[in-house]
Chains A and B, each alone.
Chain A
Amino acid sequence: AQTVTQSQPEMSVQEAETVTLSCTYDTSESDYYLFWYKQPPSRQMILVIRQEAYKQQNATENRFSVNFQKAAKSFSLKISDSQLGDAAMYFCAYKRRYSTLTFGKGTMLLVSP
């Protein structure tokens, strides 16, 4: 079974600074997808970024970017110019084609002024 590990239960960052959230996963597949979701206090899950494993280029979405290391099975999320609104629980998730999402346990991101 696939597993997703987020080793940082909590991270802190100051406004305007950069923070990186870690995620590793275990799989024997070569065709899969990786996601980062954000869950703010409202508890709605919001997609932050998505990466297809066959793509070598790291995905970016405005201030959010990933460092995808396929051989190391690592998928970290970098948030640049952090804002107070970035404070949330962040979940890493893995999905292989024709299968279902597997989530990590999450990293709580605290942002201070």
Chain B
Amino acid sequence: DGGITQSPKYLFRKEGQNVTLSCEQNLNHDAMYWYRQDPGQGLRLIYYSQIVNDFQKGDIAEGYSVSREKKESFPLTVTSAQKNPTAFYLCASSTDGQGETQYFGPGTRLLVL
């Protein structure tokens, strides 16, 4: 089946620790995105990538980093510089970055211990 997978479903972070969230897609989509969702808020864009080996900062990139070494993979690292990382993280992909619809993965819930 084609789709977007995210792992893990739940992730716990200790103080000062970097953690990486996985996002994989087998839809052959060029563009991939990372969003953060907080209670009572819509989704906010962290980073996006329209092509392999290239990515752009979104609205709330501070404290996060990404890589795009393969078309199907777009991992997100939450660094220790992100002081309030507790949130729900959603990955999405689209055919391109123009007007195409974005399709979402099931999400990762990140909690700080």
Given contact pairs A44-B104, A44-B105, A101 touches B99 in the complex (Cβ within 8 A): no
* Chain A 27-45 interface mask (CB, 8 Å, partner B; 1/0): 0000001010100001111
Contact of A103 among B42, B98, B106 (CB under 8 A): B42
* Chain A 72-99 interface mask (CB, 8 Å, partner B; 1/0): 0000000000000000000101010110
Q: Are A44 and B107 in contact (CB under 8 A)?
A: yes
* Residues of chain B at interface, number, CB under 8 A: 22
Interface presence of B27 (CB below 8 A): no
Q: How large is the interface on A (under 10, 10 to 19, 20 to 34, 35 or more residues)?
A: 20 to 34
Contact of B42 among A44, A50, A97, A105 (CB under 8 A): A105
Cβ contacts under 8 Å, B43 to chain A: 45, 91, 101, 103
Q: Are A101 and B45 in contact (CB under 8 A)?
A: yes
Residue with the highest number of chain A CB atoms closer than 10 Å, among B48, B88, B98: B98
Cβ contacts under 8 Å, A91 to chain B: 42-43
Cβ contacts under 8 Å, B44 to chain A: 103
